Chains A and B, each alone.
Chain A
Amino acid sequence: QQQVKQSPQSLIVQKGGIPIINCAYENTAFDYFPWYQQFPGKGPALLIAIRPDVSEKKEGRFTISFNKSAKQFSLHIMDSQPGDSATYFCAASKGQAGTALIFGKGTTLSVSS
């Protein structure tokens, strides 16, 4: 049973485009939703995260939109660059701070120049 469903599996955009990656969850106990970026052969790096008390959070070119009633959240990358080409994972956790993350299956993003 997949607790966090991520789509699309892969995405190709042109430089300057705005790729959008979506995630959905079922467990209403989840209360922390981070996004990670991973390059081949490297560990995931935390990009941005949100908690259910806000509907949107922006950090630099990265924005999370959160819809609590729909149990969905998404990552938008503004003015995408070739250097953004990587695999992106959404995740969720529940309960107190520092609990294990449940990951989506990942989205491979390619930004063409």
Chain B
Amino acid sequence: GAVVSQHPSWVICKSGTSVKIECRSLDFQATTMFWYRQFPKQSLMLMATSNEGSKATYEQGVEKDKFLINHASLTLSTLTVTSAHPEDSSFYICSAPRGGSYEQYFGPGTRLTVT
């Protein structure tokens, strides 16, 4: 299968600071990437769709000014959690479909803890 990486794998930050998470497709180009959030023992909830060269599309209830998404190249999308608060602590996972394919490949996830 295709490879999607994320960095960092885990991060601890203080309340009020911002954190950037990177998602890279390593062996294919991805014009679209997706960002999900997963709370403990829960399912994956779609946060936003990241489109290369254009603005991201956010799901209802997701604050676009708080979760900034930038898809600057065909292999990289970033999610920045601005002014993070403890309730933002979660497991953030990106995915990317290989071009023209229904199959989506997920990154290993980033564990964010806000203290």
Give A contacts to B, CB under 8 Å: 32, 34, 36, 41-46, 49, 51, 89, 93, 97-98, 100-106
- Decide: A97 and B106 in contact? CB cutoff 8 A: no
What is the CA–CA distance of A106 and B109 in the complex, to the nearest angstrom?
A: 17
Do the beta carbons of B93 and A100 come within 8 Å of each other? no
Interfacial residues, chain B to chain A (CB-CB below 8 A): 1, 4, 6, 32, 34, 42-46, 49, 91, 93, 95, 97, 99-109, 111
Complex interface: chain B residues within 8 A of A105 (CB): 42-43
Assembled-state Cα–Cα distance A102/B43 (Å): 10
* Majority-rule SS of B interface residues: strand
The residues of A that contact B104 with a CB separation of less than 8 Å are 34, 46, 98, 101
**Given A100-B34, A100-B46: A44 and B103 interface contact (C-beta under 8 Å):** no
Distance of B54 from chain A, by nearest CB (Å): 15
B108 near A42 with CB under 8 A, answer: yes
Q: Name B31's closest neighbour in chain A (CB-CB).
A: A98
A18 to B99, CA, bound (A): 35
Q: Evaluate whether A43 and B43 lie within 8 angstroms (CB atoms) in the complex, with A97-B97, A98-B97 already known.
A: no
A41's contact among B49, B103, B111, by CB below 8 Å, is which?
Answer: B111
What chain A residues lie within 8 Å of B108 (beta carbons)? 42-43
